[in-house]
Amino acid sequence: MRPRHLLAVRDLTAEQIGRLFREAARWKRKPLQDRPLEGKMLGLLFQKPSVRTRVSFEVGMTHLGGGSLYIGPLELQNGKREEAKDVARVLSRYLDGIVARTFSHREVEELARSASIPVINGLSDRAHPCQALSDLFTIEERIGRLKGVRVAYVGDGNNVCNSLIEACALLGVHLSVAAPAGYEPDRDLVRWAKRQASASGGRLLITRDPKEAARGAAVLYTDVWTSMGQEQERSRRRRAFRRFQVNMGLMKEAGKGALFMHCLPAHRGEEVTDEVMDSRHSIVYDQAENRLHLQKGILVTLLSSSRKRGSKK
């Protein structure tokens, strides 16, 4: 069974993720091996800015023999010009797939409910599945396995953190999350992940102590303290997260050869220092590169058998 949409990592089983990783590795070895999406068009519906997600999906689609087009905030007007369900129904008549970057997760769900073509979440307020899947692919590539690997996420319990929690729980990774009070990851999601982790052999720890999370970790991961759309909270967040910076002191708490990861864009000097970003620990650009290979796997999986449903004439 292949999923119809990808809105969250938990839409996939561990087995499907494994297949996706093998597919991604194949595309990474030979980027132009085949053109399975010849004649297919992908729409990028973006309400927020993007470098990696937009470029990696557009390049990926071209490599696979298809095309893509960007539909930005001007056309979308943040849902004010027309409702998401009408946009989804209309675009389903032209396109073969949609990548949506929305403010509200409910909107990406609405697009998926109304579209007759696959919808991929390219980041919402709740989840960033393409990022987390690429990240675990990167960890496996570097360390050679995932089960039992210790990952620490230090910072905001945001969209990137939520998706990382889902992916680690499904794949048996030991994840520790350190977030300040009031900025913890979604409570229901944590409950789900703890149950899931006990089945997969993983572990999930939520703490307020960055050192406790980092101690002995093979990977230290962070993301911005102020996500897109939260700019007016920036000074409050800078105060709340002061103790949660990934610097060389915190890297030392982790294992000797520990890796540093960040989904990017980074706010250097806030959640991470220049010294860590530019150090031998940092694999942030490999992570960014792997978005391309992993998403080619997602595109082939979701789009190659999808058929546009037109009017019933």
Task: Enumerate binding residues for ligand NVA (CB under 6 A).
Answer: 123, 158-160, 223-224, 227-228, 263
Q: Which residue in 54, 126, 262, 291 is the catalytic one?
A: 291
Helices (H) and strands (E) in the chain, counts: 13, 9
The least CB distance from residue 177 to ligand CP, in Å, is: 18
For residue 123, state whether it binds ligand CP (rule: CB under 6 A).
Answer: yes
Q: Residue 105's Cα: distance from chain center in Å?
A: 13
Identify what 227 binds: ligand CP, ligand NVA, none; CB under 5 to 8 Å per kind: ligand NVA
Provide the terminal-to-terminal Cα distance of the chain, rounded to the nearest Å.
29
Measured from the CB atom, is 63 or 105 closer to ligand NVA?
105
Return the one option of ligand CP, ligand NVA, none that residue 51 interacts with (CB less than 5 to 8 A, by type). Answer: ligand CP
Question: Is the preceding omega at residue 118 within 30 degrees of 0, hence cis?
Answer: no
CA–CA distance, 203 with 148 (Å, rounded to integer): 8
Q: Of the listed 96, 125, 135, 223, which one is catalytic? A: 223
Q: Which of 164, 142, 143 is nearest to 152 (CA)?
A: 164
Which tokens is 288 given? Answer: 């960014």
Backbone angles phi, psi at 141, to 5 degrees: -60, -40
63 is catalytic: no
Phi and psi at 153, nearest 5°, equal -110, 125
Q: Tell me if residue 168 is catalytic.
A: no
Q: Report the partner that residue 283 touches, choosing among ligand NVA, ligand CP, none (CB closer than 5 to 8 A by kind).
A: none
Residues near 189 by Cβ (< 8 Å), separated by ≥ 6? Answer: 162, 165, 166
DSSP annotation of 116? S
CB of 50 to ligand NVA, least distance (A): 8
Is 174 known to be catalytic? no
Establish if 131 lies at the interface with ligand CP (CB under 6 A).
yes
Pure H helices in the chain:
14-29, 52-63, 73-76, 84-94, 105-114, 129-143, 159-171, 187-200, 210-214, 234-240, 248-253, 274-277, 284-303
Considering the complex, state which of residue 162 and residue 273 has its C-beta at the smaller distance from ligand NVA: 162
**How many angstroms separate the CA atoms of 266 and 256, rounded?**
23
Nearer to ligand CP, 253 or 286 (CB): 286
CB of 185 to ligand NVA, least distance (A): 12
Instruction: Tell me which of ligand NVA, ligand CP, none is bound by residue 159, counting a contact when its beta carbon lies within the kind-specific cut-off of 5 to 8 angstroms.
Output: ligand NVA
Contact status: 163 vs ligand CP (CB under 6 A):
no
201 phi and psi angles, rounded to 5 deg: 90, 10
Q: Residue 228: what are its φ and ψ, rounded to 5°?
A: -60, 130
Catalytic residue among 47, 54, 131, 196: 131
Which listed residue (51, 90, 199, 248) binds ligand CP by CB under 6 A?
51
| Positions 255 through 284 that interact with ligand CP (CB under 6 A) | 263-265
- State the minimum distance, in angstroms, from the CB of residue 73 to ligand CP: 14
Nearer to ligand CP, 48 or 215 (CB): 48
Q: Which of 10, 126, 128, 174 is catalytic?
A: 128
Known catalytic residue at 223: yes
For ligand NVA, the closer of residues 227 and 295 by Cβ is 227
Catalytic residues: 101, 128, 131, 223, 263, 291
Instruction: Kindly list the residues in this chain that would bind ligand CP in the complex (CB under 6 A).
Output: 50-53, 123, 131, 263-265
